[in-house]
Amino acid sequence: MRVFLLLICLLFSLSCASQKKEVISKSTIKLEGENTNIRDFIEIGGYYAVPDYQLDGGLILFEDGTCAAVSFKEAVSEDEIKKNLLKNIVSWKKNEQFRWGSYWGVYQVKNDTIVVYGYDKGSFWKGWSLSEERYKIINRTTIKKIFWKSILKSAEKYYERNSPWVDGFDYHFFPADSLPPSDCWLKEEKWIWRNEKGWKEYMERIKQKKKR
């Protein structure tokens, strides 16, 4: 029985490692180490959410090219979220580090569309995931989800029968007075950066931040 369990664990570990390699190879949107031009198109000093469901959570787009899907704590008001966005986001501790965000991603603006690559980090019990989402820019305070697709090979057969194009919800902008930082586990991965120099500078800043 013990040998069988060890074999299962080994096979699962190999599968997760293979998934991570696939995720890295398909991660074509990279962090450039400088701010994007997203402020030229939409407002970003807050979060985007579907009206009437904005207290459940939404999408935060940062100027540096990262983004995060978030869920809000129960029984909070829109005014409380506006005053302190980070305080009201569902968070947890992992390896003694403060974590928040349902998933993290990177994005780029292509014409009138925001293309997002969203990542879910693998663990001992689950594999990695990589999805592509697209949001059409309607105006400075409204974006519309028009596309969602898992990019991993394991989903290819599904999309042979099902279209990734969707007539999704409109996401409206909800401003916030206090914004969280964009520091996250994804930025600690060297492969998400266009240049190694940007990754090294980020890791050095995080190292100094932890010393304080």
More confident residue, 188 or 18: 188
In the chain, what percentage of residues exceed pLDDT 90?
A: 80
67 forms beta bridges with 61, 105
What pLDDT, on the 0 to 100 scale, is given for residue 211? Answer: 80
Q: Which residues fall within 8 angstroms of residue 36, CB to CB, at 6 or more apart?
A: 63, 64, 65, 107, 108, 109
Least confident of 70-79, 111-120, 123-132: 123-132
Least confident of 87-96, 99-108, 174-183, 191-200: 87-96
Strands 142-150 and 129-139: antiparallel
Q: Average pLDDT of 187-209? A: 95
What pLDDT, on the 0 to 100 scale, is given for residue 158? Answer: 96
- Whole-model pTM: value is 0.88
Q: Average pLDDT of 166-176? A: 97
Q: pLDDT tens digits for 24-79?
A: 999 999 999 999 999 999 999 999 999 999 999 999 999 999 999 999 999 999 99
For residues 61 and 107, give the distance between their C-alpha atoms in angstroms, rounded to a whole number: 8
Residue 68 backbone dihedrals phi, psi, to 5 degrees: -145, 135
Going by pLDDT thresholds of 50, 70 and 90, the confidence category of residue 212 is confident
| CB-neighbour burial class of residue 117 (10 A; exposed 0-12, middle 13-18, buried 19+) | buried
Asked if pLDDT for residue 14 goes beyond 70, the answer is no
What pLDDT, on the 0 to 100 scale, is given for residue 164? Answer: 98
